[in-house]
Structure 1
Amino acid sequence: MTNSTTHPNLTRTPKGLLSRIPFLPNLLTNMIVKQRIAPKRLGNPKTPSDYGMEYTAVDIHTRDNIRLSAWEIIHPDSNKVAIINHPLTCTRYGSEKGLDGVPVEFLPMVKHLHDAGYNILMYDQRGQGESDGGLGKDAIGSEAPVGAGSTEWQDLVGALDYVARHPRLNDNSIALVTQCMGANAAIKAWSKVPEAFDLSKVKCHVAIQPTLSYNMTYRLIRAKLPLDLVDAVEDAQKKKVGFGFANVLEHIDKVKVPMLFSQVRDDVYTLDAGTNINDVQVIYDACPTDKEIVWIGPNESEPFGTGKRFEGYGYFNERPQELLNFLENHMSK
């Protein structure tokens, strides 16, 4: 077993006999690339009205001309807005199938935020849900590959632009509530377009289960197959669409506001078997601002779930207080 210096906190194991079967690695590599850049679209089987929230379906237009489908939930007495995005293979609703038998939806968390006095803007990222993008026959509107965090920074910037132009929201304090690839994308946005973040308005940033994408892709593949395909997948993806994996460590030093992280501690896709360190600890350590972290799992002081990754996306549905306290501490500053 070896630990990579290029990719911190990644312990690699031998490739396995399957890697020697002719054509199999190439076949699997192409399948994985397709799942990353053109995942199956999921719908939004529930809306905010299912939780008693009045909403408006709106469109966000990004600076690279991608239309994003969104829900706007206005609170009548609010001067603060939460911008919310979602993980890969989900929508703004969530995912009925989820991962490893764990479904997730985000509207219960949104209900807690709305009840606490927040306006809400939540959107489907490019190529997913009801937003434009995608490739080939599954594309809606303009073609655009799913970036798994590499390109969706433009979606977050589009949401900030939408709020800045909105007659009801343009003077609101802003909280970013971002998840998985959406968290990676939002962190990248701080680096790519710092001028989009009006620090008189953007007060704090929540990152629910961000990832070191290279490491997570390696572990996802190894969990299903005894193959080390991660380099082949990244190379093939670069050839196909011109970009590789998101690397949040290249951008997090540009974040300018307090951050709240949350993560299932024993998530097999982010916990390194060799170091016994979770990738989110590495990301947290690299964050230069005031920061907090919520560890989730059956062995924490307040046990929750069984240690599966997708349980982490539902944590604030059931236990919103840490999220609400963090926001309350920073939104009025």
Structure 2
Amino acid sequence: MKMPRLMELTKLMVVGARLPVTRTPGEAGLAYEDVAFASTDDVDLKGWFIPGAGVTAGTPGPVVVFVHGWLWNRMGNVAGRVPFTDRDVDFLPPTKALHDAGISVLLFDLSNHGESGRRLPLTFGPFEARDFVGAVRYARSRPDVDGSRVGAVGTSMGGNIVLIGSGECLPINAMLLVQPTRPYKFSAAFAADVMGKMGSMSLPMVDVAYLAARAPRPSTVDPGVYAAKLTDTMQKYVQGTGDPWGSMDIVQSFVDRSPRVLPLVKYPSTGRYEGYRYVTEQAPDVASFFAEYL
């Protein structure tokens, strides 16, 4: 691999890139509200609130907070904007299914993504958990939300964020975690697959760079530690069978440590992004899960 491409990919992992917000829930005929709130360390965050069918300030209902993955935005992912092979992932179908089930949805851009503010470096969970906690606190502040009935969907990095942050904003009644992972293991597999031998050799220096930035080193982050503490939260995990960057064993280890959990969904896939598409392709299952446990 040539050094310029290695530097480009490393920058994406540490700094990120912003996917423009070019779509809205209006495409599915959903009413939505532009919202703004802050993370727990005062980063400005932007998003949309979509009230569930029949939900009003007089009849508050449950809410599900979506937390997107690396380099995405509040609507999911748009393929072809990064220097590696990716696929579209659309949060609109599960948002519509949840709305129709009477469940409100909060979609928002994480820090360093979409239209939200900046916080560096990206930590694939620990720093961004402050965004999730801010989002949950905002949702609970609304008169049309029953603050005792809160759920979360986290995809990839978003799954790590939900696991790490939930302990600061309990109760979280239910969470759907699609291909969460241990950041260092993900980075190693990503580097080997996309960056080649030179990329793999650069990983120890990335860990040192995080230490110098006074940020959690990727090698020390294990979302499973946090999963084990969520004694009252129903957890459901999904992992693609053909994921070259993630690990079925790692996700199973999260399942094994979770006090309340459904069996691991091994979703047929031919790559990392096809596993994420569970939320798009199985939208009725997403809505059914939260309808049962919220």
Helix, strand or coil at the partner of 2:11: helix
In 2, distance between residues paired with 1:172 and 1:48? 25
Q: What TM-score do the two structures reach when normalised by structure 1?
A: 0.77
Taking a change above 3 Å as real, the CA distance of residues 310 and 234 of structure 1, as seen in their structure-2 partners, is same
In 1, are the aligned partners of 2:110 and 2:128 still within 8 Å (CA)?
A: yes
In 2, are the aligned partners of 1:100 and 1:308 still within 8 Å (CA)?
A: no
Q: Does 1:237 align with 2:210?
A: yes
Shift of 1:220: 0.4
Which of 286, 292, 315 aligns to 2:263? It is 292
Q: Does 1:83 align with 2:65?
A: yes
Taking a change above 3 Å as real, the CA distance of residues 244 and 32 of structure 1, as seen in their structure-2 partners, is farther
Which of 10, 13, 16 aligns to 1:39? It is 16
Q: What TM-score do the two structures reach when normalised by structure 2?
A: 0.87
In 1, are the aligned partners of 2:53 and 2:99 still within 8 Å (CA)?
A: no
Helix, strand or coil at the partner of 1:122: strand
In 2, distance between residues paired with 1:40 and 1:251? 27
In 2, distance between residues paired with 1:248 and 1:31? 27
Q: Which amino acid in 1 is paired with 2:41?
A: D
Shift of 1:32: 4.4
In 2, distance between residues paired with 1:43 and 1:90? 9
Shift of 1:292: 3.0
Q: Which amino acid in 1 is paired with 2:31?
A: E
Which of 250, 256, 281 aligns to 1:318? It is 281
CA deviation string 1:105-162 (max 9, x = no partner) = 21122111112211111110011000011xxxxxxxxx54332212111111101110
Helix, strand or coil at the partner of 1:97: coil
> Considering only aligned residues, what root-mean-square deviation do their CA atoms show, in Å?
2.2
Q: Across the two proteins, how many residue pairs are aligned to each other?
A: 280
Shift of 1:31: 4.5
Q: Does 1:253 align with 2:228?
A: yes
In 2, distance between residues paired with 1:184 and 1:171? 22
Q: Which runs of 5+ in 2 are unaligned?
A: 56-60
* Residue 117 (structure 2) aligns with: 132
Percent identity among equivalent residues? Answer: 24
Q: Which moved more, 1:122-131 or 1:225-234?
A: 225-234
After the TM superposition, which segments of 4 or more aligned residues of structure 1 sit over 3 Å from their partners?
Answer: 27-33
In 2, distance between residues paired with 1:114 and 1:312? 23
In 1, distance between residues paired with 2:250 and 2:242? 11
In 2, are the aligned partners of 1:109 and 1:317 still within 8 Å (CA)?
A: yes
Taking a change above 3 Å as real, the CA distance of residues 171 and 40 of structure 1, as seen in their structure-2 partners, is closer
* Residue 3 (structure 1) aligns with: none
In 2, are the aligned partners of 1:83 and 1:122 still within 8 Å (CA)?
A: yes
Q: Does 1:226 align with 2:197?
A: yes
Shift of 1:291: 2.6
